[in-house]
Amino acid sequence: MPYIPHTPEEVREMLQSVGVANVEELFADIPRELRPASFDLPPGMTEMGVRDRLEALAAKNRIDFVSFLGAGFYDHYVPSAVDALASRGEFYTAYTPYQAEASQGTLQAIFEFQTAVCRLFGMDVANASVYDGGTAIYEALMMAVRQTKRATALICETVSPIYRTMLATFTEKLGLTLTTVPHADGLTDFTAFEAALDSRCAAVVVQNPNFFGAVQDYAALFAKAKSLGALSIASAYPVMASLLATPRSMGADICVAEGQSLGLPLSFGGPYLGVMTCTKELARQMPGRIVGRTADANGRTGYVLTLQAREQHIRRQKATSNICSNQALCALRVLIHLCLLGDEGLRRQALNSVEKAHYAAQRLTAIPGVRLLNDAPFANEFTVVLPGTALESCSNLMRWQYVPGFPLTRYYPGLENALVVCCTEKHRLSDIDTLADMIGALQ
Amino acid sequence: MRTVFEKSRAGREGVWQEKPAASASDFIPAGLLRGREANLPSLSELDVVRHFTRLSRLNFGVDANFYPLGSCTMKYNPKFTEVVANLPGFARLHPLAPQLCVAAKWCQGSLEVIYETERLLCEITGMDAFTLHPMAGAHGELTGALIIAAYHADRGNKKTKILCPDSAHGTNPASAAIAGFEVVSVASRDGIVDPEALAAALDDSVAAVMLTCPNTLGLFERHLPKIVDMIHDAGALLYYDGANLNAILGKMRPGDAGFDVMHVNLHKTFATPHGGGGPGSGPVGVSAALAPYLPISRVVKDEEGLYYLDYDYPKSIGYVAPLYGNFGVILKAYAYILRLGREGLIRVSEQAVLAANYLRVRLESCLDIPYNRICMHEFVASAEKSAQATGVRALDLAKALLDRGHHAPTIYFPLIVKEAVMIEPTETESKDTLDLFVEDLQRIAAQAEHAPEEVKAAPRAMPVGRLDETKAARDMVLTADLAPAR
């Protein structure tokens, strides 16, 4: 039997030691009436057979498109060394480092990950990651609720609608009132936001660059929030963080991000990781696993899981969060990716993406009837308004193996003609030219 | 070992890309750009490869060490599943692809994997429907608790409490609390749920009871048929924590036994790697009565055999994940289930249970085992006697095992056993490995009697000695840039 090493002789010896005649006796505690009505599974297959089957399934997915689809999940180049290192069995076949002395590799890597993401966002403290970028926003909101002991929060409509729909599921149960502040042409409406802010508010949540791609200055909003005792939560795009003003410099208390763009494949939605960073004043509100530096009796530096008094295995129903598993292997990939690129590599990756997006915007807006949704600065993603519906343009272009972007219709009624177009360093200028030619030909 | 930041040398070239022709301020006003660089390390590719290769060597992992970490199911992770998950057809697919019109056509492979995995899990567990969205066991528990809340709310039931046995995983009460329930702990008797204590706690306000079966002591809940009836008679639902599903494959299905909601830990029973703490995957299964409340989206198959995402479930609890769960992990579990098939999965449980009982019997001479009877896939010993006699505690035994090349069992859990040492060998460890573990533990137990200080001084063969956790919590040095707190 695959992966089960016991020979018939060994099974006999083991049964004898235990003092039972056969394996079935070991299951005598399961009452007869609980025995399965059926267990109708296919017979086992060889490794080759399963691989053939899975390769055939993989071939049913079409990945041969030139795609300008981003919307929070990005196709940036991943250096080969990321796969090579993260696939070392010493990393991926270990578990949560409960035995610190036998887990210094994982622990030091998490400590370095915490350091790297804090430096990227200008924050003091990070955890070892949570499930994804949406969960990170949810956990950040819960941090604010605990810290301020308030139960309302404001979130901008320009924050990813994919995350906002998910937040609604959780906040409703928790007695947290999460109010969405409407966008104005794809931008955060600061007047509306400040009008909605009051001293009952636990937090404000924004995203920069926002879901439409726009880059804005949140310093004034965050200052107003602070003056009313609310925390400021910013959701960031880590690759672009190498260029953009840090959330901390604008006054954010908590910065979260979907970490996928830093070295993880798109993989149909996961595994990804939620990056969570905050100021040191909020360290004790941080959920999940956190690694700290310490020493052994001989003064040798080492790393341990710390501040565990916040966690479910100690606090049970009074824990800061129910989270147990994190996305440690994904965090390791992010760290390796950041180390391989360094500041200069990451900045180049970001800037090459930005340059291509601006070229694309220029080409597209040269087409009669195509315009940008707003005139705000943008990084590598922007929203164009087409003369016809975005979904229709999308289906037309897909016939020629092009995905022009993400149509906003589904999440933003009234923006049926709007399309979010994303470029990364992987796009060729000729791909962008072809995209523009094809969209031009549609009109 | 020095941190990767200390190894940085300004100007050293890493994996850089083409030099951009423009500068950021050509596109974005200077006021919106960052003032200074993040100060990520500047390293050559070899610097990075060597740093992480060396870090990896400081770790124990299943590939190199026996890892009997109770409750965590640290079995062998087949290599071919990694290859399968990295196939470009899967790895390069954008998660929003199915949201474009006509585009479900380009995701048929991935959608079929999800659909088929759900069907296989239904057959394995006897549940009627599954969602693969939850990204870990605790996420599954939270999803399950939200489904339970929605079910009762839909019927106008005023239910405010969830009961958990005192032996439960800490995530059970934490997840129930986050879903808005009051959590009440039920005392065990003789290591299993006491029907009388349960009866006393069961009233109209109880929405559900969360059970782990076999429980965290590795014992099967023998009163289960009675318990199920009591709970259903009280108008409550029964939640199955699937952390220990690997003990009962083909022997019992939670759905047949009367459980209404459950989660499965794909990273335990179905051999996907634990990754140093994740990613995991915690699919949730429900009975037909609860299926309308499952999270959206759901994968359905039309008459022509095409798969698509369906969002039209008005009673759904909504989204618990932004996309479709940890798809890469789901792929590995799917490949594992296909590889083992029916007979293989039954053997998984049989051999896991046999291995646990073999270790239990072989270790009973050197360890105190409070509930020493036929166990399932794991058992819990106690170091209480040696802690009192010689001061050698469960923690000391754990550290001494590291010196002999074995990862330690889970210690100090479950909470209902003092000085708990929770051992789960799994089916993938050979008898030779189990025997070596027994001999080493016997030697440590002998040493604990005649030279307890030696055991308390362990570990000695690790890269560091016992680390000062109090100092870590007090100093709060959580990044390389934070100085110790005063």
Cα angle A339, A340, A345; round to 5: 100
Q: What is the DSSP letter of A382?
A: E
Task: Flag if B69 and A95 touch (Cβ within 8 Å).
Answer: yes
Residue among B358, B360, B368 at smallest CA distance from B448 = B368
pLDDT tens per residue across span B271-321: 999 999 999 999 999 999 999 999 999 999 999 999 999 999 999 999 999
The answer, yes or no, to whether the previous bond of A238 is cis (omega within 30 of 0) is no
Q: Collect all residues of chain B within an 8 Å Cβ-Cβ radius of residue A114.
A: 478-479
- Classified as helix, coil or strand, A74 is coil
- Please name the residue of chain B whose CA is at the shortest distance from the CA of residue A119: B38
Q: What is the DSSP letter of B56?
A: H
**End-to-end CA, chain A:** 62
Q: Distance (Å, rounded) from C-alpha B8 to C-alpha B215?
A: 49
Single-letter code of the amino acid located at B211: L
Q: Distance (Å, rounded) from C-alpha B405 to C-alpha A443?
A: 69
Cα angle A199, A203, A208; round to 5: 135
Q: Residue A310 has what pLDDT?
A: 67
Kindly give, in sequence order, each residue whose CB lies less than 8 Å from that of residue A89, ignoring residues fewer than 6 positions away. B61, B62, B63, B64
Packing angle, helices A47-59 and B108-125, rounded to 10:
130
Nearest to A47 among B32, B80, B429 (CB): B80
B467 has a pLDDT exceeding 70: yes
Task: Flag if B343 and A329 touch (Cβ within 8 Å).
Answer: no
Q: Provide the CATH topology of domain A66-75+342-442.
A: Aspartate Aminotransferase, domain 1 (3.90.1150)
CATH 3.40.640.10 range(s) for chain B read 82-338
B107 min Cα distance to partner chain A (Å): 5
Contact indicator for A272, A329 with CB cutoff of 8 Å: no
Instruction: Provide DSSP, B291-308.
Output: GGGSPSPEEEE-TTS-EE
- Rounded to 10 degrees, the C-alpha dihedral B7/B8/B9/B11 comes to 150
Contact indicator for B246, B268 with CB cutoff of 8 Å: yes
Contact indicator for B375, B218 with CB cutoff of 8 Å: yes
Q: Collect all residues of chain B within an 8 Å Cβ-Cβ radius of residue A332.
A: 275-276
* Cβ pairs bridging A and B (under 8 Å): 703
- Classified as helix, coil or strand, B181 is coil
Nearest to A269 among B21, B95, B137 (CB): B95
Q: Residue A320 has what pLDDT?
A: 73
CATH 3.90.1150.10 range(s) for chain A read 66-75+342-442
Q: Collect all residues of chain A within an 8 Å Cβ-Cβ radius of residue B169.
A: 313
Which CATH number describes the domain made up of B82-338? Answer: 3.40.640.10
Count of Cβ atoms closer than 10 Å to residue B480 Cβ = 17
B302 φ, ψ to 5°?
-90, 180
Nearest to A55 among B87, B338, B475 (CB): B87
pLDDT tens per residue across span B126-159: 999 999 999 999 999 999 999 999 999 999 999 9
Q: Distance (Å, rounded) from C-alpha A382 to C-alpha B359?
A: 61
Task: Flag if A242 and B101 touch (Cβ within 8 Å).
Answer: no
Nearest to A270 among B5, B61, B327 (CB): B327
B319 min Cα distance to partner chain A (Å): 5
Q: Distance (Å, rounded) from C-alpha B173 to C-alpha B142?
A: 10
Q: Residue B103 has what pLDDT?
A: 62
Contact indicator for A179, A155 with CB cutoff of 8 Å: yes
Task: Flag if A36 and B250 touch (Cβ within 8 Å).
Answer: yes
- Find the mean pLDDT for residues B404-418: 95
Q: Distance (Å, rounded) from C-alpha B239 to C-alpha B262?
A: 5
Judge: domain A80-337, CATH 3.40.640.10. Answer: yes
Contact indicator for A351, A424 with CB cutoff of 8 Å: no
Task: Flag if B342 and A40 touch (Cβ within 8 Å).
Answer: yes
Task: Flag if A61 and B90 touch (Cβ within 8 Å).
Answer: yes
B244 min Cα distance to partner chain A (Å): 14
Q: Collect all residues of chain B within an 8 Å Cβ-Cβ radius of residue A4.
A: 344, 347-348, 351, 427-428
Residue among A268, A236, A242 at smallest CA distance from A119 = A242
Nearest to A119 among B38, B277, B462 (CB): B38
B204 has a pLDDT exceeding 80: yes
Q: Distance (Å, rounded) from C-alpha A364 to C-alpha A351?
A: 20
CATH 3.40.640.10 range(s) for chain A read 80-337
A229 min Cα distance to partner chain B (Å): 25
Task: Flag if B18 and A348 touch (Cβ within 8 Å).
Answer: yes
pLDDT tens per residue across span B38-49: 999 999 999 999
Label residue A43 exposed, middle or buried (CB < 10 Å: 0-12, 13-18, 19+).
exposed
Task: Flag if A18 and B354 touch (Cβ within 8 Å).
Answer: yes
Q: Which CATH architecture has domain B347-470?
A: Alpha-Beta Complex (3.90)
Residue among A235, A328, A231, A330 at smallest CA distance from A288 = A328
Task: Flag if A339 and B123 touch (Cβ within 8 Å).
Answer: no
pLDDT band at B486 (very low <50, low <70, confident <90, very high): low
Label residue A341 exposed, middle or buried (CB < 10 Å: 0-12, 13-18, 19+).
buried
Kindly give, in sequence order, each residue whose CB lies less than 8 Å from that of residue B133, ignoring residues fewer than 6 positions away. B143, B283, B284, B295, B319, B320, B321, B324, B325
Q: Residue B120 has what pLDDT?
A: 98
B446 min Cα distance to partner chain A (Å): 22
Q: Collect all residues of chain A within an 8 Å Cβ-Cβ radius of residue B437.
A: none
Among A7, A46, A54, most B C-beta atoms within 10 A, so best to mutate, is: A54
Residues with pLDDT less than 70, chain A: 310-312, 314
CA-based radius of gyration for chain B: 25
Task: Flag if A88 and B56 touch (Cβ within 8 Å).
Answer: yes
Task: Flag if B469 and A96 touch (Cβ within 8 Å).
Answer: no
Using CA of residue A368, residue A373, residue A374, residue A378, what is the dihedral sign?
negative
Residue among B144, B130, B138 at smallest CA distance from B324 = B130
Label residue B12 exposed, middle or buried (CB < 10 Å: 0-12, 13-18, 19+).
middle
Nearest to A114 among B49, B169, B478 (CB): B478
The number of angstroms, rounded, from the C-alpha of A27 to the middle of its chain's C-alpha atoms is: 43
A346 min Cα distance to partner chain B (Å): 8
Give the H or E element holding residue B455.
Answer: helix B452-456
- Find the mean pLDDT for residues B164-170: 90
Kindly give, in sequence order, each residue whose CB lies less than 8 Å from that of residue A382, ignoring residues fewer than 6 positions away. A212, A213, A214, A357, A360, A361, A372, A373, A420, A421
Task: Flag if B256 and A31 touch (Cβ within 8 Å).
Answer: no
Nearest to B56 among A3, A90, A324 (CB): A90
The per-residue pLDDT of chain B, averaged, comes to: 96
Q: Collect all residues of chain B within an 8 Å Cβ-Cβ radius of residue A265.
A: 86, 91-92, 328
Kindly give, in sequence order, each residue whose CB lies less than 8 Å from that of residue A303, ignoring residues fewer than 6 positions away. A100, A104, A107, A108, A110, A111, A291, A292, A293, A294, B467
Q: Collect all residues of chain A within an 8 Å Cβ-Cβ radius of residue B27.
A: 354-355, 358, 377-379
Instruction: Provide DSSP, B320-360.
Output: SSSSSS-HHHHHHHHHHHHHHHHHHHHHHHHHHHHHHHHHH
Q: Distance (Å, rounded) from C-alpha B456 to C-alpha B453?
A: 5
Residue among B259, B266, B253, B257 at smallest CA distance from B210 = B259
Label residue B413 exposed, middle or buried (CB < 10 Å: 0-12, 13-18, 19+).
buried
Nearest to B170 among A102, A312, A326 (CB): A312
pLDDT tens per residue across span B440-458: 999 999 999 999 999 999 9
Task: Flag if B339 and A105 touch (Cβ within 8 Å).
Answer: no
Q: Residue A314 has what pLDDT?
A: 67
Contact indicator for B360, B375 with CB cutoff of 8 Å: yes
Q: Residue A113 has what pLDDT?
A: 98
Q: Collect all residues of chain A within an 8 Å Cβ-Cβ radius of residue B413.
A: 313
Kindly give, in sequence order, each residue whose CB lies less than 8 Å from that of residue A377, ignoring residues fewer than 6 positions away. A214, A215, B27, B28, B29, B32
Nearest to A44 among B39, B250, B341 (CB): B341
How distant, in Å, are the alpha carbons of A82, A267, A398 from that of A209? 26, 23, 27
Task: Flag if A37 and B256 touch (Cβ within 8 Å).
Answer: yes
- Classified as helix, coil or strand, B285 is strand
Q: Residue B151 has what pLDDT?
A: 97
B450 min Cα distance to partner chain A (Å): 24
Task: Flag if B53 and A88 touch (Cβ within 8 Å).
Answer: yes
Count of Cβ atoms closer than 10 Å to residue B305 Cβ = 8
Among A90, A114, A332, most B C-beta atoms within 10 A, so best to mutate, is: A90
Label the pairing between strands B192-193 and B206-212: unpaired
Task: Flag if A294 and B61 touch (Cβ within 8 Å).
Answer: no
Packing angle, helices A328-365 and B45-56, rounded to 10:
150
Instruction: Provide DSSP, A277-329.
Output: EE-GGGGGG--S--EEEEEBTT--EEEEE--GGGSHHHHGGGSS-------HH
Nearest to B475 among A166, A294, A351 (CB): A294
Count of Cβ atoms closer than 10 Å to residue A20 Cβ = 16
User: Which of A70-74, B246-250, B358-362, B412-416 is least confident?
Assistant: B412-416
Q: Residue B107 has what pLDDT?
A: 94
